[in-house]
Amino acid sequence: MVNQDEYGNLFGKWQIGEDTWCITNRWQNFIYLLIGEEKAMLIDTGSGEGNLRDFVENITDKPIMVVNTHGHFDHTGGNSCWPDAWMKKEAVEYAKEPFSPLHQEWFESKPYPDYQIHELSDGEIIDLGGRKVEVIAIGAHSEGSIALLDYNLRALFTGDEIESGQVLWFVRDRPLPVKEIAAIHKRNMEKLLTYRKKYDWIWPSHNGVPLLPDPYLEDYIALDQQIIDGVAKVAENTGGLGFPTETQKAGGPFAEYGNLTRAEYRRASVIYSEEGYEYRRKK
């Protein structure tokens, strides 16, 4: 069972720095393992497929601290392999809400579905032993999003708030008008720029890693401003890498969010719902 999900797919891993691994599942969710002298930080846990704990414990024998970039279930599903997880306060509410009955099954088959959640705060520094990681609050895609800045590797892990495919803005726990989300996202990107001397690469959770920081931050800030000003270029088709149009049709996982729009500028792309459709909780 080690290294396989329920379909027989393998987890994959590759080393991206000293004592640092990127782990991925069949959906190419990128999970990161940062190994310090005292403990290791696991950034996100996938959707709960397979036995992530066994897989991780084959890489390191250090105690694992699970940290979630935000509370969406494709980042928290595997948390139930461990008794504790750390995340920002706003992520707690929806961190245990599976996207499907299959996710629920995976989640409940692990030893700690009632795992304890500990809250992280903006600016907090986590010491892994000879390796410090700073928590930077950047919630826009999701209210509880954080970036994690690894001083040693000079790497910034950004969850779903920056990526090469598209940043989804319609999956917030509490919907907002698109211009308000754009303003929040822009402030967050500018906040990451203030830390710019401390990292060389950005490592998102989906759709291609790593990203060169300056072009992406610059393009996302420009796109956010264009959306605020009502002049952003809208794509004819909402489909993209990791976000096929099939998923938006009736019966697909994104069909319930109403009419979606893709706005683009150079390397930046966001998808939003004009109707500000409320993210439907499963329970």
Residues that bind Zn ion (CB under 5 A): 72, 160
d(CA 31, CA 228): 32
Closest distance of CB 69 from Zn ion, Å? 8
* Residues forming a β-bridge with 14: 22
Nearer to Zn ion, 35 or 270 (CB): 270
Q: Give phi and psi for 49, each to the nearest 5.
A: -70, 155
Closest distance of CB 71 from Zn ion, Å? 8
Nearer to Zn ion, 128 or 271 (CB): 271
| Upper half-sphere CA count for residue 85 (Cβ side, 13 Å) | 28
Nearer to Zn ion, 163 or 224 (CB): 163
| 172 and 202 Cβ atoms separated by less than 8 Å | no
Nearest to 195 by CA among 146, 152, 143, 136: 136
Q: How far is CA 160 from CA 12, 75, 108, 251, 271, in A?
A: 20, 10, 25, 24, 12
Nearer to Zn ion, 53 or 141 (CB): 141
d(CA 36, CA 214): 28
Closest distance of CB 123 from Zn ion, Å? 22
Nearer to Zn ion, 95 or 182 (CB): 95
d(CA 45, CA 213): 24
Rounded to 10°, the helix 213-229/178-194 angle is 150
Closest distance of CB 111 from Zn ion, Å? 25
Closest distance of CB 255 from Zn ion, Å? 18
Could you give the angle at the alpha carbon of 44 between the alpha carbons of 43 and 47, nearest 5°? Answer: 160
Closest distance of CB 189 from Zn ion, Å? 17
Nearer to Zn ion, 40 or 184 (CB): 184
